[in-house]
Amino acid sequence: MERASLLRPEGEGECSVSRQPPTIRRCAVYTRVSTDHRLEMDFNSLDAQCEAAEAYVRSQAGEGWKLVKNGVFSDGGFSGGSMERPALQRLLDLVRSRGVDVIVVYKVDRLTRSLADFAKLVELFDANGVSFVSVTQSFNTTTSMGRLTLNMLLSFAQFEREVTGERIRDKISASKKRGIWVGGVVPLGYRVEAKKLVVDEAEAATVRQIFDRYLALGSLSALQKELREQGVVTRQRILACGKTIGGVPLTNGPLAHLLANRVYLGELNHKGMSYPAEHPAIITTSLFQSVAAKISENRNGHCTKRSSSAALLVGQLFDDRGHPMTPSVTNRKGVRYRYYVSCVVAQGRGDEAGSIKRISAPQIENAIIAALRARSAESFDERELVAEHLSRAIVAADGVELTLANGDSIRIPSPKRSSAQSILGLANDSALPMKAEARAVLLRWIAIGRQCVAELERGRTIDLDQFAERRGCTRRHVERMIDYAFLAPSLVKAIADGRLPRGVAAKALADAPMIWSEQWRMIGFEQPAA
């Protein structure tokens, strides 16, 4: 009879137990493959990862797991070694907005293959209360053993990525040394057929024209202008993202690269070396060598280069048509002259420049700095003064308009041309003299050189290594400093008095001739009267 009570109807004589519904856990799925190979198939690796992850989420429905709307984030053709992946960035934005609680991945290395990146992701997840789950790997990151297991998995994933990268680089290197085209931007004059470069006759004619015309004109700027007038443009290309680039006139940089590219000799370039290749040549060896000799002659005879270290107004100086004016340095007879040149002039489009195409860098810098100092009570270094107070400067024929950081405007007259010869004279001139720091270094070198020569004149044998060590420099520097000991006294006095222009190069003085008057002429001036 006691057992009969076990068969009584449910609920009779018992307390019913109610069960609380599970807390909703919002889930997102992330999938990734490193290449876009086979992504066009009806069912690819991304689909397989997504199917497994969604099935896992459904299996946890009793725990309150639910896939959020548009909760699948897929990156096809992106490496796990980088965080720059569009779908991953969208997912991280969702994490930051606290729109997800759990991230589900097929394997941990789908999320990242970098330990450093993984540490950043974990920090972001923890800060926003997000956990992540791997469908095929079981670990618990709340325990020390689970974290160790996870770090080991990621270490092997990173190792695998690095080893794979090394193998690919080795294969590319070996292929290039054998002259096999392995991909990249196809040079003008060629097209790719069956993974090999073949000559595109229409473009090849343009390449030959460029080589021939450079040899005739002898100037990149003149060649650029002529090609622009003829409507010669770069090849149009469609990127993987669908964006179209190219179809623009050739500028100095691409032209210089084209004229020095040994691909047109039927070779392939790799790490500074060139190797005979499978594709045919477009340019004859004699023409290529003639062009290379002309380029070298122009570079040695008239060297103009950008100097970012001395230019104070980079990115802030414009002509009155809105074109940036970029720094340029020219060496003439051992003297360096600094300018700001409208960028369109450097591109061979001088007719598009403003009313002032080129202006002396020291003059415009001095004029602007003087105007800024007149409005600032604080003591600033020149570079700090410009960075702190100047927003933009527009150079026109009738003056320079300054826009300050606080929104105010100043108009100053255009700086007048000054003769470098007057800098060397005794008259005070507003042109920029040699910097005090450079002058002090040069005078120290002269003093060390004279000391070394004086010891030699007294008949003492000098160990240059010990001599250099005592003065905190190298033997090569001491040998160089000895040359400065033979500079003309009037030239040394001009250096000490600060009457040499900033453009005089120390190297030019070290290579000066022994005759004093010729030393002056070498830097572009006549020796002052005694």
Contact 128, 54 (CB under 8 A): no
Q: How many CB atoms lie within 10 A of CB 467?
A: 16
Q: How many CB atoms lie within 10 A of CB 201?
A: 9
Q: Which two tokens stand for residue 76?
A: 């096809």
Angle at which helices 475-484 and 436-457 pack, to 10 degrees? 90
What is the residue-wise DSSP string for 160-208? HHHHHHHHHHHHHHHHHHTT----SSPPTTEEEETTEEEE-HHHHHHHH
CA atoms of 375 and 408, how far apart (whole Å): 11
Three-state SS for 372?
A: helix
Three-state SS for 493?
A: helix
Q: How many CB atoms lie within 10 A of CB 215?
A: 15
Per the annotation, the verdict on 430 as an active-site residue is no
CA atoms of 220 and 235, how far apart (whole Å): 19
Residue the block writes with tokens 């308009």? 401
CA atoms of 107 and 118, how far apart (whole Å): 13
Contact 501, 313 (CB under 8 A): no
Report in angstroms the alpha-carbon separations of 155 from 29, 78, 131, 151, 162.
23, 19, 20, 6, 11
CA atoms of 8 and 275, how far apart (whole Å): 94
Report in angstroms the alpha-carbon separations of 248 from 204, 232, 237, 422, 449.
18, 8, 11, 46, 55
CA atoms of 369 and 381, how far apart (whole Å): 10
**∠ CA 131-134-138, rounded to 5°:** 100
Residue the block writes with tokens 């294969």? 171
Kind and range of the H or E element at 424? helix 420-424
> Which residue type, as a one-letter code, is found at position 165?
G
Name the active-site residue from 5, 16, 18, 34: 34
Residues labelled catalytic: 34
